[in-house]
Amino acid sequence: MPKVSPTLSVMFAYSATGVFWGAFAAATPAIMNLSGLDAGGFGLLLVVMTAGAVPAMIFLSRLPMRLMRWVLLASLLLFAVAALALSQSTDLISLTVAFLLAGAASGASDVALNLRVSEIERSGVGRLFNRAHAMFPLAYVVASPIAGLARESGIGLALIFLCVCAVLVGAALIETAAAMGPQPMASADGAEQGAGGFRSYGLLIMVGIVAALGAFQEMAVQTWSAIFMESVLLASAGLSSLAPAAFTAGLSLGRFAAHLLEGIFEAVRLAMLMSALGVFAFAMIAASSSTLLALVGFALAGVAVGPIEPTVYRTVTERTTERQRATALSAVTMIVYIGYLSSPPLLGAVAQVFDYQTLWLVGAGFALSIVVLLGVLRRTLAAKKP
**pLDDT tens figures, 258-285:** 988 887 888 889 999 999 999 999 999 9
Per the rule left: phi > 0, alpha: psi between -120 and 50, beta: everything else, 126 is left
Across 360-381, average pLDDT = 92
Asked if 6-191 and 194-384 have one fold, the answer is: yes
pLDDT at 39: 65
Percent of the chain predicted with pLDDT > 70 = 91
Whole-angstrom Cα distance, residue 137 to residue 17? 10
pLDDT at 44 over 90: no
pLDDT at position 343: 81
Q: Of 56-70, 101-115, 244-258, which gets the smallest average pLDDT? A: 56-70
The answer on pLDDT for 28 being more than 50 is yes
pLDDT digits (tens, 9 = 90+) for 209-251: 999 999 999 988 887 888 888 888 988 766 877 888 889 999 9
pLDDT band at 191 (very low <50, low <70, confident <90, very high): very low
- Domain boundaries, given as residue ranges, for the chain: 6-191, 194-384
Contacts for 278 with CB less than 8 Å, ≥ 6 apart: 217, 300, 301, 304, 305, 363, 364, 367, 370
- The pLDDT of residue 2 is 67
Nearest-5° Cα angle at 344, 342 to 348: 120
Question: pLDDT grade, residue 107 (50/70/90)?
Answer: confident
Q: What percent of the chain has pLDDT over 90?
A: 36
CATH number for region 6-191 = 1.20.1250.20
pLDDT of residue 375: 92
Q: What is the pLDDT of residue 79?
A: 94
SS3 content of the chain, % helix, strand, coil (to 5): 85, 0, 15
Say what the pLDDT of residue 177 is: 86
Q: How confident is the model at residue 65, as a pLDDT?
A: 65
- Residue bearing the bigger pLDDT, 94 or 237: 94
Domain spanning 194-384, CATH architecture? Up-down Bundle (1.20)
Name 351's Cβ contacts closer than 8 Å, sequence gap at least 6.
224, 358, 359
Please determine, for residue 187, whether its predicted confidence score (pLDDT) is greater than 90.
no
pLDDT at residue 196 in the model: 46
* Highest-scoring range by mean pLDDT, 1-10, 142-151, 153-162: 153-162
